[in-house]
Amino acid sequence: MEEICKRQKEEALDEALIRAWVRLTSTLKNTRMTQGMNYNEAIVMLLAYNRYRQDGEGLISFKEITRETKMLKSLVNRTIDSLAAKGFLERCGGADKRMTFVRVVKENLSEFLSVHEQSLQIARQIVGIIGEQDARTFVEIAEKITAQNPLGQGE
C-alpha cells in the first residue's frame, strides 16, 4: 500500500511539472518576450550578441548555433537567411573552410538591442515576482536540465 501511495505522489508531481511547464512557456510566449522578432531569430541573435559581448567580434559557427539552440540545421539556415536579409547578421568564412560562420552586423546592433531591452524588462519583472534568489535557482535548474538533455534534442 505504501508503494502505491509513493507512486501516486510521484505521478502527481510529474503531472504538476508538466502543467507548470506548459503554463510558464505559454506565459512567456504570450508576453512576446521576443517582441519585434520571431522566436528563432531572437535566440540566434542572442547567441551572436553574447559572442559579440565576449570578444567584440560576434563570430559564431553555424554548428555552434545548431548545438546551442537544438534547432534543425535547415531551420537554423532559414533563420540565419532571415536575419541576414534584415541586416542583423552576415555570413563569413573562418579559418576552417569547411565551417560556416555568421557575425553580428555592428551597424545594425542598436535595432536588436531595442528588442533585447524589451526582453530584459520582462526578465526583470519576473525577478521582481519570484525574487533574486529564486531567479538564480531557476537559472541553475534550467542549466542542469539542458546539460542533461532529457529530450535528446540536437543529438
pLDDT per residue over 134-149, tens digit each?
999 998 988 888 777 6
Angle at 66 between CA 65 and CA 70, to 5 degrees: 115
pTM attached to this predicted model? 0.73
Confidence at residue 9, expressed as pLDDT on a 0 to 100 scale: 63
Instruction: Categorize the per-residue pLDDT at 121 as very low, low, confident or very high, splitting at 50, 70 and 90.
Output: confident
The chain-wide mean pLDDT, for the chain, equals 83
**pLDDT above 70 covers what percent of the chain?**
80
Instruction: Report whether pLDDT(97) > 80.
Output: no
Looking at the structure, give the CATH architecture of the domain made up of residues 31-148.
Orthogonal Bundle (1.10)
Instruction: Report whether pLDDT(127) > 70.
Output: yes
Confidence at residue 155, expressed as pLDDT on a 0 to 100 scale: 47
3-state secondary structure 90-152: EEECCCCCCCCEEEECHHHHHHHHHHHHHHHHHHHHHHHHHCHHHHHHHHHHHHHHHHHCCCC
17-58 per-position pLDDT tens digit:
888 878 877 776 665 555 567 888 988 999 999 999 999 888
Which grid cell is 133? 534568489
Instruction: Categorize the per-residue pLDDT at 94 as very low, low, confident or very high, splitting at 50, 70 and 90.
Output: low
